[in-house]
Amino acid sequence: MPNARFPIAVVALEAAPRTKPSNHPEPFFSRMAGREKRPLGDLFGLANFGVNITRLVPGGCSALRHAHSKQDEFVYILAGHPILITDDGETQLAPGICAGFKAGNGNGHHLVNRADEDVLYLEVGDRSAGDAVSYPDDDLQAVLDQDGKWRFLDKNGASY
């Protein structure tokens, strides 16, 4: 039965950008200024995972380098040449290359755009309950509250 609540299909880059560039407290928030996420899965009412098409301008990064305890993540590069940084070092990516980040292994990852052209990629992450995020390079940790909101603490457990 047709469902008028959701579109049938969407041109991804015409989807509305997320209005808030990051949920992080300062001084971390400002480091996300070069990133623009357009949620795609939400447009269709998907609940079990999220999909965004995300643009990184030159100098931008996908996130603070981080690892999830429960959430698997996946990225597929559509345009541009980001560098993937993990505990294994730096890996040059290019259009058509994908990477997956398995929950629970503690290997922090993020993409940085050191080139002079935009990077565009698809990112997928599931919505597992009880997720938590560790940040190997920053005095930060995050835990997912039961109401689905992220709570940010320093490494000693004090709230930001």
List residues near its own copies by CB under 8 A: 1-3, 6, 8-13, 40-41, 43-49, 51, 53, 71-72, 74, 76, 84, 86-88, 91, 93, 96-103, 105-107, 122, 124, 126, 128
Whole-angstrom CA distances from 72 to 17, 30, 67, 123, 124 are 23, 25, 9, 11, 8
What is the smallest separation between the CB atom of 16 and its own copies, expressed in angstroms? Answer: 14
Closest to its own copies by CB, 15 or 153 = 15
State the burial class of residue 66 (Cβ atoms within 10 Å of its Cβ: 0-12, 13-18, 19+): buried
What is the smallest separation between the CB atom of 30 and its own copies, expressed in angstroms? Answer: 28
Closest to its own copies by CB, 24 or 40 = 40
Closest to its own copies by CB, 57 or 103 = 103
Closest to its own copies by CB, 103 or 153 = 103
What is the smallest separation between the CB atom of 111 and its own copies, expressed in angstroms? Answer: 10
What is the smallest separation between the CB atom of 74 and its own copies, expressed in angstroms? Answer: 5
